Amino acid sequence: MVNINQLKTLGLSENEAKVYLAMLELGPASVMEISQKSGINRPTAYVQIESLKKLGLVSTQTKGKKQLFIAESPDQLEFVLDKELTEVKNKKDEFQRILPELLNLHRSSGSQPQVRFFEGKEGLLRMQEIVLRSNVKEILAIASVDQIFDVFPSHTTNYSTRRIKKGIKSRLIYTSSKGPILKDSDEKMLRESKFIEEKRMPLSGDLAVYGDSVAITALTGKISGVIIDHPEIANSFRSFFELIWNSN
């Protein structure tokens, strides 16, 4: 039997669900009858009936001097869902319209660096999402490939494939106990890579420079990360990257 919680998942409030179920069972009924059947006091029941009328789930009928209320067919619930979907789409469209201005306000909030901290694997996945949504043309990264795949075995599928679809190029300086394992796949991965032996550059995580931001993660011990949004700091790390890149 359909219960209140199931109707709530479709967008009705708890009281709306109680009243609607009561009306479905009663057929044409007065507010008093609906109140008694639903277990909701009369004033509240009337408010819920009016709310359901706006959703197209209730109609009225006059019998003598008495006004009766009738539950519309449950098929009407599909229109309620369609309305919600339309509202969500409109909100998303409005969000996309104002997002550039909001981002400009965020970036121009002063010369102080904006620092965000992330914890655990879920936190690092959130960092990856932020990088992918940055709409940059290139990411510069220094990383231990072994540690990345230890923490994220599906890294290539979940991150790299999405980066490629977005047309974001990558230049990667990396270490690996398996040697220069990435060179052969560079072209299809939209990447240039340079290998450095682990003993020359022992790493415990990775670093990525993208746009005006730097993302740094720890992939051993307490897994965590930080994103620093500041153009001068990003440019300093970019120069550091280029120094290593051009030295190998």
Q: pLDDT tens, 201-228?
A: 999 899 999 999 999 999 999 999 999 9
CATH 3.30.870.10 in the chain, residue ranges? 114-246
Segment 167-172 shows an average pLDDT of 96
56's tokens: 């197209």
Q: What is the pLDDT of residue 163?
A: 95
Which of these, 66, 4, 77, 55, lies nearest to 33 by C-alpha position? 66
Own/partner long-range contacts of 62-71 (Cβ < 8 Å, ≥24 apart): 63/28, 66/30, 67/30, 68/28, 68/29, 68/30, 69/23, 69/28, 69/29, 69/30, 69/31, 69/34, 70/23, 70/27, 70/28, 70/29, 71/20, 71/23, 71/24, 71/26
3-class secondary structure, 221: coil
Tell which phi-psi region holds residue 119, choosing left (phi > 0), alpha (psi between -120 and 50) or beta. Answer: beta
With 70 as the cut, is the pLDDT of residue 111 above it? no
Instruction: Report how far residue 117's alpha carbon sits from residue 69's, in angstroms, rounded to the nearest whole number.
Output: 55
Angle (CA) 99-101-103 rounded to 5° is: 70
* pLDDT confidence band for 239 (50 / 70 / 90): very high
Return the bridge partners of 139, or none: 170
Alpha-carbon distance of 43 to 47, in angstroms, equals 6
State the pLDDT confidence band at 158, using cuts at 50, 70 and 90: confident
Q: What is the CATH number of domain 114-246?
A: 3.30.870.10
Give the strand order in the sheet containing 191-195. 114-119, 224-229, 213-218, 205-210, 138-144, 169-175, 191-195
Q: What is the pTM of this model?
A: 0.59
Of the pLDDT bands very low, low, confident and very high (cuts 50, 70, 90), residue 67 is confident
Specify the CATH class of 4-78 in words. Answer: mainly alpha
What pLDDT does 5 receive?
84
20-55 tens-digit pLDDT: 999 999 989 999 999 999 999 999 999 999 999 988
CATH 1.10.10.10 residue ranges of the chain are 4-78
